[in-house]
């Protein structure tokens, strides 16, 4: 039997790394596909991979996918719907600020996850975990401080924090959906929930674009190569997020997920050629300290 006491942390780090790659590709696709098109890419090209993952899990375990009860559907609707809104807001924030600063605004999410998790799922927090959340979040808030002379202001901050709130609601919704399945295998519960959520998201956004803007759908098809990469990385990231949600509280998972900020800083520096300020460097140190506290907390 695997020791789950550390497994959730491994899943989360893998998810954060894959998500960094997906976010970078989606940011590049925004210029050619627009905000809605770039948002749709992660779902349209992600759901086939999610179905493949589910099929592999079913073959490996010899178990059929679970039959969800009535309690599953409100949770999955919340998770899927909030994630669509969160992704759109994230890309809007990236258009207005640098890649790393936009992500920093969004990563105020753990505090909101802790609150929503407590209210909706009864996921209680210990004092050490609460301290870790505060320290790590302080790091991303420090990183998001406005650079001298840079354009921006309150609007990108509000958009980014709004994205964080939607991601928080999405995390809680997906964890609620996974737990409602009461499935003995956490791997099956996580992959099934992911597949259902992505199929719903891909279907709704495809219908919306078919009715409102078919040119975007055609542009997505033409950009299938980078879109396929974004979809694959999105499905991989979501798979490991969901596996972590199945065995740990959403607050712990999303706080450890702040390791995405140093990953993002590296992408911003080496790929987008955006320099790191001293303030951002101090913020990264606080994030790392918060993550270390979280891992050692009980």
| Residue 166 lies in domain | 4-296
pLDDT in tens, 6-18: 899 999 999 988 9
Work out the pLDDT band at 274, boundaries 50, 70, 90: low
Residues in the chain: 298
Q: What is residue 27's predicted lDDT score, i.e. its pLDDT? A: 76
Q: What is residue 148's predicted lDDT score, i.e. its pLDDT? A: 41
For 242, phi and psi rounded to 5 degrees?
-65, -40
pTM for the full predicted model = 0.84
Q: Is the pLDDT reported for residue 117 higher than 50?
A: yes
Q: Looking at residues 262-279, what average pLDDT do you find?
A: 70
pLDDT in tens, 180-203: 999 989 999 999 999 999 999 999
How confident is the prediction for the chain on average, in pLDDT? Answer: 84
Q: b/e map of 54-66 (b: 16 or more CB within 10 Å)? A: beebeeeeeeebb
Q: What is residue 145's predicted lDDT score, i.e. its pLDDT? A: 61
> How many domains, in total, are found in the chain?
1
pLDDT in tens, 24-61: 787 788 878 887 888 888 899 999 999 999 999 999 99
Q: What is residue 149's predicted lDDT score, i.e. its pLDDT? A: 42
CB within 8 Å of 3: residues ≥ 6 apart: none
**Higher per-residue confidence, 103 vs 130:** 130
């Amino acid at each position: 039997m695997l020791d789950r006491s550390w497994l959730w942390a491994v899943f989360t780090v893998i998810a954060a790394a894959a998500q960094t790659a997906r976010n970078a590709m989606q940011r590049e696709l925004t210029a050619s596909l627009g905000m809605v098109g770039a948002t749709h890419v992660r779902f349209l090209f992600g759901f086939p991979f999610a179905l493949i993952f589910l099929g592999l899990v079913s073959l490996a375990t010899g178990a059929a996918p679970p039959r969800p009860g009535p309690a599953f559907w409100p949770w999955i609707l919340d998770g899927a719907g909030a994630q669509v809104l969160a992704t759109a807001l994230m890309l809007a924030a990236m258009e207005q600020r640098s890649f790393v600063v936009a992500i920093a605004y969004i990563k105020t999410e753990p505090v909101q996850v802790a609150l929503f998790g407590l209210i909706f799922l009864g996921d209680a927090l210990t004092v050490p975990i609460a301290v870790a959340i505060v320290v790590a979040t302080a790091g991303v808030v420090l990183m998001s401080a406005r650079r001298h002379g840079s354009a921006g202001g309150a609007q990108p901050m509000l958009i980014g924090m709004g994205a964080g709130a939607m991601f928080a609601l999405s995390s809680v919704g997906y964890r609620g959906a996974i737990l409602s399945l009461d499935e003995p295998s956490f791997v099956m519960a996580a992959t099934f929930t992911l597949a259902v959520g992505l199929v719903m998201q891909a279907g709704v956004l495809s219908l919306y674009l078919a009715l409102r803007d078919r040119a975007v759908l055609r542009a997505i098809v033409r950009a299938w190569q980078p879109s396929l990469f974004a979809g694959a990385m999105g499905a991989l990231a979501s798979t490991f997020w969901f596996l972590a949600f199945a065995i740990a509280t959403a607050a712990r998972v999303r706080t450890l997920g702040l390791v995405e900020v140093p990953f993002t800083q590296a992408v911003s520096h080496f790929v987008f050629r955006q320099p790191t300020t001293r303030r951002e460097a101090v913020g990264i140190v606080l994030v790392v300290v918060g993550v270390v506290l979280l891992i050692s907390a009980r």
